[in-house]
């Protein structure tokens, strides 16, 4: 595996469209989302109010909504798509190998 990647889950552990929280060994808190056969990894912290995105829900294709104030983010690129958030959340590189999900740290 490429440098900086670590195994975080099995694809089969992730339910379609259900946010899943994991912590990398670097203490980065990540929200994983399996959607349309892909797995996406974004920061688990809403950029508007320090709240876990994994406690929110997918509200439409590729869009996760924060459960606190309703800010929405695109899981493909982290951009804020609905107020009150105006800043994006960090995205992480994801690889799937042998049914395992690997995420690269941004540190």
State the average pLDDT over residues 73-82.
97
Q: What is the reported pLDDT for 9?
A: 96
pLDDT for residue 1 is more than 90: no
> What is the domain range of residue 43?
5-104
User: Is pTM beyond 0.85 here?
Assistant: yes
What domain count does the chain have? 1
Judge contact between 66 and 81, C-beta under 8 A.
Answer: no
What is the per-residue pLDDT across 2-55, written as a single tens digit (0 to 9) for each?
788 999 999 999 999 999 999 999 999 999 999 998 999 999 999 999 999 999
CA distances from 15 to 1, 18, 25, 36, 38 (A): 25, 6, 23, 11, 12
Q: What is the reported pLDDT for 67?
A: 94
**CATH number of the CATH domain containing 32:** 2.102.10.10
């Amino acid at each position: 595996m490429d440098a900086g990647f670590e195994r975080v889950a099995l694809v089969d552990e992730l339910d379609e469209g259900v946010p899943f929280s994991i912590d990398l060994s670097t203490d980065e808190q990540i929200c994983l989302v399996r959607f349309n056969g892909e797995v996406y990894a974004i920061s688990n912290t809403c950029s508007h109010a320090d709240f876990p995105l994994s406690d929110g829900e997918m509200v439409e294709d590729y869009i996760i909504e924060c459960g606190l104030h309703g800010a929405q983010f695109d899981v493909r690129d982290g951009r804020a798509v609905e107020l009150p958030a105006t800043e994006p959340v960090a995205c992480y590189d994801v690889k799937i190998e042998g049914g395992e999900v690997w995420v690269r740290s941004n540190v």
